[in-house]
Amino acid sequence: MKKSNEEANKKSNGEVKKKGVLAKTLKGILIFFGSLIVLLAIAAGVVLTQFKLDTLQVTGNIHYTEEEIREIVKEHGYIENTLVLYWMNKLNPIGDIPFVDKLDIEYISNHVVTVTIYEKSIAGCMEYMNRYIYFDKDGIVLDTSTKRLQDIPCISGMKFEHVILYEKLPIENTERFSLILNMTQLITKYSLLVDDVRFTTDDELILYSGDIKVLLGDGSNIEEKMVDLANILERLEGKKGTLHMEKFTRDKGNASFTPE
59 falls within a domain? yes
User: How many angstroms separate the CA atoms of 54 and 57, rounded?
Assistant: 10
Q: How far is C-alpha 135 from the geometric centre of its chain's CA atoms?
A: 15
Is residue 24 domain-resident? no
* Tens-digit pLDDT profile for residues 31-68: 666 656 655 555 555 545 677 888 889 999 988 889 99
CA 40/CA 25 separation, integer angstroms? 22
Task: Report the domain count for the chain.
Answer: 2
* Angle of helix 222-235 versus helix 174-189 axis, rounded to 10: 40
- List, in order, residues 6 or more apart from 136 with CB less than 8 Å away: 120, 121, 122, 123, 142
Distance of CA 130 to the CA centre of its chain: 22
Residues 242, 135 share a domain: yes
Q: Quick one: 106 and 151 in the same domain?
A: no
| Domain CATH for 82 | 3.10.20.310
Do the domain assignments include residue 44? no
69 & 174 share domain: no
Determine the Cα–Cα distance for residues 136 and 223; give it in Å rounded to an integer: 19
Question: Residue 185: which H helix or E strand, with range?
Answer: helix 174-189
Name the percent of the chain lying above pLDDT 90: 29
Whether residues 94 and 189 fall in one domain: no
Q: Tell whether the model's pLDDT for residue 2 goes beyond 60.
A: no
Range of the domain at 108: 55-119
Which pLDDT belongs to residue 17? 60
pTM more than 0.75: no
Examine residue 9 and state whether it is found in any structural domain, yes or no: no
Q: How many Å apart are CA 35 and CA 24, to the nearest integer?
A: 16
Is 89 in the same domain as 198?
no
Q: Let me know if residue 227 belongs to a domain.
A: yes
Average pLDDT over residues 137-155: 90
pLDDT (tens digit per residue) in 87-135? 888 888 888 888 888 889 898 988 898 999 998 889 999 999 999 999 9
